[in-house]
Amino acid sequence: MKANPPIKTFTTTKIRPGRILVYVVLVGFSIFFLLPVYLLLITGMKSFSEVSLNRMWNLPVNLSFDSFAEAWKLLQGSFINSLSLVIPATIISSLLGSMNGYVLSKWRFPGSEIIFTAILFGMFIPYQSILVPLVQFLQSVGLYGSITGLILVHVVYGIPITTLIFRNYYAGVPNELLEASKIDGAGFFGIYRHIIFPLSVPGFVVVAIWQVTSIWNEFLFGLIVTNSPEQRPVTVALQNIAGSQYTKWNVQMAGALLVAIPTLLVYIFLGRYFLRGLLAGSVKG
């Protein structure tokens, strides 16, 4: 940071003990947050005979990436499946959320709050509890067992959260802006296209990050809705690395890391925008 020196030294020297404490606490928490990753990494680099709870902190005796290769072999096909699931599902649910948020914040009508509340409640459904009717419904519309069906499921159950985020986000857009545009003759879509959508980019980033991670990491729907091995998403493939009798932890942990890479990249590269998007008002209740 380009700060001007005199003021900076003045403030830092003034509250030094406090500063040190702040860093100590932050570093302490960082260790707490990174510990599991360390464990994932070193276990992934061990051979199966070396894997043991008693020696889990030990560094691997022989560094080997065989576990990663083995895990990748078992996972590669499903990576494509997950990508072809996550991308359309995220795009469609973000667009729907944005449209719903726009309507429910700027085009309210009698009952719109009730509709919003009713939509929001969908967020709280425990998914295990609706598996049976879900499968029967998907079968009746011919979507059971396909990635398209899984996309539909993720889109629908993504509506509540995306609508919530966008509605709150758009609530911060001044109505005067819209009215001015209306006077200029803009209609429903005109306002959306010229005012709302250009302002929405940070909102889309927040929603996209949220949806990408939750859809990528989702397990139960992936398991139940896609029933053939060629269509299963990565989380299901990751579970399948474990045998029914015992688990090769080194391969399991290596696989876990591989599966996490795409979402980690999203966080590393878009994390800043995520914060900025939250800052831009999408979290205000």
Binding to other proteins in span 41-100, by CB under 8 A? 43, 48-49, 52-54, 56-57, 74, 92, 96, 99-100
The residue from 224, 250, 254, 273 that contacts other proteins (CB under 8 A) is 224
**Residue 190 in contact with other proteins, rule: CB under 8 A:** yes
CB 65 to other proteins: min, Å: 19
**Chain residues 111-150 in contact with other proteins, contact rule CB under 8 A:** 113-137, 139, 141-146, 148-149
Considering the complex, what minimum distance in angstroms separates the CB of residue 69 from other proteins?
A: 15
Tokens of 190: 């005109």
Longest CA pairwise span in the chain (Å): 74
Closest approach, Cβ 152 to other proteins, in A, equals: 8
In whole angstroms, how close is the CB of 9 to other proteins at the nearest point?
Answer: 14
Three-state SS annotation for 169-228:
HHHCCCHHHHHHHHHCCCCHHHHHHHHHHHHCHHHHHHHHHHHHHHHHHCCHHHHHHCCC
| Of 76 and 284, CB closest to other proteins | 284
28 touches other proteins by CB under 8 A: no
For residues 251 and 258, is the Cβ–Cβ distance under 8 A? no
Whole-angstrom Cα distance, residue 156 to residue 71? 32
DSSP state of 59: P
> What's the rounded Cα separation, in Å, for the pair 214 and 263?
9
Contact with other proteins (CB under 8 A) among 61, 69, 76, 284: 284
- SS3 of 75-104: the string is HHHHHHHHHHHHHHHHHHHHHHHHHHHHHH
Nearest to 155 by CA among 229, 100, 235: 100
The only residue of 45, 152, 173, 254 in contact with other proteins, by rule CB under 8 A = 152
Footprint of other proteins on 233-262 (CB under 8 A): 235-236, 238-249, 252-253, 256, 259-260
Among 2, 13, 16, 32, binds other proteins (CB under 8 A): 32
25 membership: H or E segment, kind and range:
helix 16-44
Q: Which is nearer to other proteins, 65 or 284 (CB)?
A: 284
Q: Which is nearer to other proteins, 41 or 65 (CB)?
A: 41
Residues numbered 5 to 24 that lie near other proteins (CB under 8 A) are: 19, 22-23
In the bound state with other proteins, the residue whose beta carbon lies nearer, of 161 and 173, is 161
